Structure 1
Amino acid sequence: MVKPAKNGPLFLYGNLEVCSGTGRTVNRAEEVHLCRCGHSKNKPYCDGTHAKIGFSSED
């Protein structure tokens, strides 16, 4: 399941595998929060930077 947080990250729930651009698995988890603002220092994961920069989204 994917749920966008208002003015924040994407919340993903389920049996997840996060892969690099080359297809290598970098993380297996049941829940991750992915950056949508593009400014996280821990990409692809959210580090809360969206709140500091005033990121806003339609959803």
Structure 2
Amino acid sequence: MVERRLARPEPTRIVLTEEGPALVSGPVELELPDGSRVRSDRAVTAVCHCRRSKRYPICDASHRRKVRQEGREA
């Protein structure tokens, strides 16, 4: 009898960045609090966690915009 060993798939990798999105490797399906789902088939998907993205939950780099600090004139 030949023993078969099933190859374990690599775990999904998620990289949390300091001031930007979470980077998720591989295709991903995101479920939002309202139950709707968003799918991305990219090799790496940038998931917004600052909620500034106009494409939320997919990051559009809106976190990079400078915010005017109080007490400073433009």
TM-score of the alignment, normalized to the shorter chain, above 0.5: yes
CA drift at 1:52: 1.0
- The two structures have a TM-score, normalised by structure 2, of 0.54
Aligned ranges 1:1-59 → 2 under 5 Å: 1-19=13-31, 22=35, 26-53=39-66
**Unmatched 5+ stretches in structure 2:** 1-12, 68-74
- Give the number of aligned pairs: 54
The range that moved more, 45-54 or 29-38, is 45-54
**Unmatched 5+ stretches in structure 1:** 55-59
- The two structures have a TM-score, normalised by structure 1, of 0.65
Q: Aligned to 1:47, what secondary structure does the other structure show? A: coil
Superposed CA RMSD in Å reads 2.3
Following the alignment from structure 2 to structure 1, what is the Cα–Cα distance between the partners of residues 46 and 35?
Answer: 21
Following the alignment from structure 2 to structure 1, what is the Cα–Cα distance between the partners of residues 39 and 27?
Answer: 14
From the superposition, tell whether residues 23 and 5 of structure 1 become closer, same or farther in structure 2 (CA, over 3 Å): same
Larger radius of gyration: 2
Identical positions, percent: 24
Larger relative CO (CA 8 A, sep 6+): 1 or 2? 1
Between Structure 1 and Structure 2, which shows a larger proportion of helix residues?
1
